[in-house]
Structure formats: C-alpha cells, structure tokens
Amino acid sequence: MQPAHAQTPTDIEISQIKSLLGFTPDVTRKVVRASFDSQPELKRYDAAQQDCLLDALQPEVEGKLSEAFGDLFEDSETVAAWLRFAGTPGGAKLTGAMRAGVDAMINGGTAPNPFGTVSGMTAAERADVAAFMESPAAGVLKKDFPDLEKPVAFGQDAARKCGIDEWNES
C-alpha cells in the first residue's frame, strides 16, 4: 500500500524499470506475435493483415503493460530503489539475470537460475543483494504480476484499418 505522500511513478520511471527488467517494446511485440500465432482464427489473415493488426495493437498493449508495472511498483521511491540497486555490482548481476530470464522466456532459451547467479557472486555482490532484499522495494518480488486487460483496439476498428471485412469479436 502506497503511503499518502508517495508519488506515483512517472512514465519515464516506468519505462526505465521495464527496460531494466527486460520488457522492451521489441519483447512486447514478440509476445503479441506469439499470441497471434497461438490463435487459429488469426491465421486466416495474410501476413500483411497480421502485421497491421500487430501495429494497431502494440501501443495499447504497451500502455497496459506500463499500467501493470505502475501498479506493481506503486511509487517513485520503489522504482528509484530498484534503479539504485541495479547500479550496484550485485544488483547489476541479478537484474541482468532477470533480463536474461525474460529473453529466454520470449526466445525459447534456458533461463538462468537466480540461485546460481547469486552463488556465483563475490561476497561484496552478495552483500548488495542481501541489503536490497531487506529493503521495502524488494517486496515487489513477492507480488503477483497484475493481470492485463484485453486491449480494446483489437476489434472492428483495427480490422477495418487493416483491410479485414469480416471480424468476429470473441
């Protein structure tokens, strides 16, 4: 719960934290593309129509993802604490492993084991991680990622823009 005096994270702060943790626009596009590939009803559209739908949908998905990160991190101080942590040698290694995990999830690779990452650190790097884990900002790690609402752009307007005459809302 956010204290009364806490400032909601700014768009720039949310962008920084998303990037720090590996959630770049390119990653979002790959996730949406994978979602398309898993939906048989979208396979009936040609590649150009699918790309058009993807282009229409991505800004809204990015916005919803940013809202979810804002909800997850709650306030500017939490974001700042994460960014400070990432600037330490131990924090740089741990957040690097987090980014590698996101990359592995998206690209089908093997995610690094966080325990292996920590055990491979120097004593000073482990101290960075231990200090951070004792801070309120580490509480983010205990939270579930917020559910993303289905984007509304994915509908009749996007279909029309993409040259799709028959659109079935489901």
At 168 the pLDDT is: 65
Report yes or no on 71 lying in a domain. Answer: yes
Report yes or no on 73 lying in a domain. Answer: yes
How many domains does the chain fold into?
Answer: 1
Q: What is the spatial distance between Cα 36 and Cα 38, in angstroms, rounded to a whole number? A: 5
What's the DSSP call for residue 1? -
Q: Is the pLDDT of residue 2 over 60?
A: no
Structural contact between residues 67 and 78, judged by C-beta atoms closer than 8 angstroms? no
Report yes or no on 1 lying in a domain. Answer: no
Q: Which residues span the domain enclosing 98?
A: 11-161
Tokens 């920084």 appear where?
Answer: 16
Report yes or no on 6 lying in a domain. Answer: no
CA distances to 9, 78, 100, 124, 130 from 72, rounded to whole Å, are 10, 10, 20, 28, 21
- Residue scoring higher pLDDT (12 or 161): 12
Q: What's the pLDDT tens digit per position in 112-127?
A: 887 788 989 999 999 9
Q: What is the pTM of this model?
A: 0.83
